[in-house]
A and B are shown apart, each in its own frame.
Chain A
Amino acid sequence: MEKNVYLDLGYWVQKKAKQLGADDSALGINQSRSVEVDFRDGEVEKLKESTEQSLWIEIYANGRYSSHSTNDLSKPALEKFITNAVDLTTYLEKDEFRKLPDPELYKGQHTVDIDINDTRQADLTVEQRLERAKNMGEFIKGKDDRIISIASGFYDDHSESYHLKSNGFEGHKESTSFTHGASVSMQGAGDKKPEAWRYYRARHLEDLVGAKETALQALARTQDQMGAKKVPSETLPLLLENSNAAGLLWRLMGPLSASSIQQKNSFLEGKKDQQIASEVLSIMDDPTIIRGLGSRYYDGDGIAAQPRPLITDGVLNNYFVDVYYGNKLGWKPTSGGSSNLVIKPGSRSGAEIEAGLDKAILVTSWLGGNANGTTGDFSLGVAGWLIENGKRIQPITEMNISGNYSELLMNLVEVGNDPWIHSTFRTPTLLFDKVNFSGS
């Protein structure tokens, strides 16, 4: 993005909104370019290149508020767009809690160089991308007679945005990301064709886990599912693989938000400074991780990003408080959403924990299910392994776990030392006691 062109356009829009009757405005201009390459069984299946741009604006006028977005950034089109936006706002009801953040919240951004833009992305050619995607599949080819099909892909994007708020905020973000991965389908028993995948994502190309390792993990994960079946319903310890632990814990983010609490839809309302999980659980929200997938200098409200404890030794320290719901609750805003979530590691690896289990189920993937954020009840589909005497004795599938998050979190007995760093939620292996598994 040519900096001055887009920034100038942003200030032009801000000024135009004011002229047309907005008291205040917040706006963002985004531009991104991405390339997506998919191979199947050694042939290119899809090659897609995307370049897009958009503008969004929030209008504050006479105590009223509305938000709008468009992908037509020509000035005549924008003038009509802003005119309509301001006009629409006047027909809404007044809302005393809708206002721009206190400018004090913009101050104090951390000064770590988070290094989330890989400038070498611009040098990547389409041929290099095709080569990478193809090679990923080659590592799997011929490795197992039961293979039906191998898909592999390479994706990367560069995105840039400017944010302006009429009470003095100006922000700029520029980042890249790279993803590669493979999926493998195999002929199982009868008509069943187990399929599994592995992918990795990173801010810098050089940080991606190696293509061969990624490919062989995808193969192994498919082989692991061969012969999977449900086992009888039982209450057992749940060992949760690090790469899938976020699949259980992200559902807490809704109930931890100020909007859920203010709307009386959170089972965690009134739990601040109380024990909500066992003492082994500590979670930090850390926007300062170098090359972190969730690292940032400011959030959607323009609030300066800072590391903040979420849960310490099982005690809830903070909610996610955005400006609007913070105003409604009379709470000081923290941030409306998470950056990188980091769980304090324990002392043993997933493998060491597994070796010490008499009987448990290791969960390695999720299938559907949902949770009720108002009550904490959950019921989720799982697949993985039945473990007896520290050994994986039977792959399992078509089973559910059910319970309530309040109990589940108190039953967390051990945290591994192996955080999954390829995600914004850096979860290690987790061991929960007394989980209800339903099966045959």
Chain B
Amino acid sequence: MINMSRRDFVKITGTGLALATLPGFLRTGFAANSPGGNPYGFYFKRFGIDDDTIRKVMAEALHYGGDYCDLFFQNQLSNSIRLRDNIVSTASTNVTLGVGIRVLKGNQTGYSFTEDVSLASMKAAARTAAGIASGSAKGVPETFNATKLMNYYDTEMSWEDVGVKSKVEMLQAINDDVFKEDPRVVKASVNFADSENYILVVNSEGGIATDYQPMLRISVACTAEQDGRRENNYFDYSARDDISFLTPERLKRLPREAVARTVKLFEAQTPPAGELPVVLSAGSAGILLHEAIGHGMEADFNRQGISVYSEKMNKKIAEPFVTIVDNGTNPHIRGSINVDDEGYPSQETVLVENGVLRTYMHDRISAQHYGLEPTGNGRRESFKHYPMPRMRNTYMKSGPHEFEEMIASVDYGILADQFTNGQVNIGPGDFTFYVKSGSLIEKGKITAPIKDVNIIGNGPEVLERVTMVANDMKMAEGGWTCGKNGQGVPVSQGMPSVLVSAITVGGRG
């Protein structure tokens, strides 16, 4: 039985801050009511900086005539803890602190970072980044003005105040439930990770923004045996939230889903091969959007003219009931951000409106190239990396059809339920996603389970073949991470149930 109130998680170890709840200025996102009258005073203190320090570093960054510079300060605290073989005997913590300094000259980027936030080190890094330009020094702002932001992940409690002992008990309770769920389970593992990311970004146009970004991920995996066969599967949750996310209902569902997903695989048949109709279940199937259109709509690829979508703006690319957005404002969803890593407020960006391509996802460089406002998609993995246009939460809005109607319309095809990974070639538009688990559809009915099959298609072609969209949009629940040019950022995606009339299924039949 798992039943823990938030109170049970209050830290009992002696380390960390002795706070019962997060201070208000972190909870509001916008730092207006932080102590001392300075709206970003908490962050200045955390990084040991002030206006004067920033100006001195910026003066170095613009020493050779760069058009623009920004400083990205970051302090991230991460914890993870793991149960295997019935004991919680592995835990880890990671602390990083540093500042990344970027100088732009036209479309050119100079970048450097330092893990030592002393003035001398920052000035040295700034001088390195400055080298992208070659001219005479530019001036720096007199004052910095805080950007007004919303808070899409209000939390009450810091992860620093959640004790290890209570996490150990939580993992144990989940493990007990996994084994109670089905006698075929022979191994279970439970992983729990939390992190807190404090960022401050300030630029040479005088803009300054701060954010407190909490995150959690919990996953349960198990292996089951039946008639000498073994199968393994998992279920996970991720959210920008505090410990209150882990309600008794969610803690009970984790082991139940993990086991159900695993033992279902024993019934699976060999998946079919070739071009078939595919129904995608609502939820994490949004991976199709992430790969088929999301990356191709990141404006850097379009600015360079190398995306399959480079000449598609304002053209019809899908049926009129298809609307696709990339949204950074969904409450507590993994890919949400109050502000992007260039300091621009987050927003809902409509990529495809009623079947027509409307907007790419922009960072500062691409927005300037196109003469548009940035869309809040400038993201980076950490202070060690420069920002690029990146997705946040990418999803299709609900449409006019019914799930049952889609299934009934398929004579022979598959229903894809669980997804693990995907990939795309931006230029030709070919993309894939891997279906861990699904079912056959035969003569309008869901029949035998299938498993472990890759699906491959071409982005623009597949969007044209989305012939039905149901009214059941759902966001993914798990912890998705998007990789681009060696940088990983947390994202999410969502999808109503949809029917793709034909796509290549990598089976063997």
Contact = CB atoms under 8 A, between A and B. Distances in A.
Chain B interface, >50% SS class: strand
Of the listed residues B95, B110, B454, the one surrounded by the most CB atoms of chain A closer than 10 A to its CB is: B454
Nearest to A89: B91
Interface string A403-440: 10000000000000000000000000000000010111
Nearest to B461: A398
Contacts of A332: none
B427 A46 contact: no
B115 A52 contact: yes
A386 to B, nearest CB: 15
B13 interface: yes
A195 B425 contact: yes
B89 A95 contact: yes
Most buried by A among B85, B111, B306, B506: B506
Contact of A50 (B84, B384, B458): B384
A43 B85 CA distance: 55
Interface in A326-383: 328, 367-375, 377-381, 383
Interface stretch (B34-42, B142-150, B307-315, B366-374): B307-315
Contacts of B420: 370
Interface stretch (A59-67, A211-219, A271-279, A294-302): A59-67
Interface stretch (B243-251, B400-408, B428-436, B468-476): B428-436
B230 interface: yes
B136 interface: no
A72 B98 CA distance: 9
Given A91-B165, A370-B434, A439-B274, A193 B308 contact: yes
A185 B97 contact: no
A96 to B, nearest CB: 9
A9 B69 CA distance: 36
B223 A374 contact: yes
Contact of B507 (A148, A228, A373, A379): A379
Interface in B428-465: 428-434, 436, 451-458, 460
B131 interface: yes
A64 B274 CA distance: 52
Contacts of A438: 273-274, 504-508
A109 B88 CA distance: 34
A375 B230 CA distance: 7
Contact of A195 (B91, B427, B436): B427
Given A71-B96, A374-B232, A47 B111 contact: yes
Given A64-B89, A92-B168, A397 B108 contact: no
A317 interface: no
Contact of B95 (A81, A192, A372, A401): A81
Nearest to B172: A93
B456 A191 contact: no
A328 B273 contact: no
Given A40-B304, A44-B132, A72 B422 contact: no
Nearest to B94: A69
A365 to B, nearest CB: 9
A126 B115 contact: no
A402 B453 contact: yes
Given A72-B95, A148-B306, A195-B426, A400 B15 contact: no
Contacts, number: 260
A67 B89 CA distance: 11
B115 A84 contact: no
B306 A193 contact: yes
A387 B88 CA distance: 54
B427 A194 contact: yes
Contacts of A126: 131
A35 B309 CA distance: 32
B306 A98 contact: no
A150 to B, nearest CB: 10
B111 A48 contact: yes
Contact of A47 (B94, B97, B110): B110
Contact of B112 (A49, A83, A440): A49
A193 B428 contact: yes
The 9 closest A-B CB pairs, nearest first, are: A400-B506, A368-B432, A95-B89, A368-B423, A438-B273, A195-B427, A193-B427, A379-B454, A91-B164
20 contacts: A48-B112, A67-B92, A69-B95, A70-B96, A84-B16, A88-B15, A92-B81, A225-B428, A264-B186, A265-B187, A370-B436, A377-B452, A379-B434, A379-B452, A381-B430, A397-B430, A400-B273, A400-B454, A400-B504, A436-B508
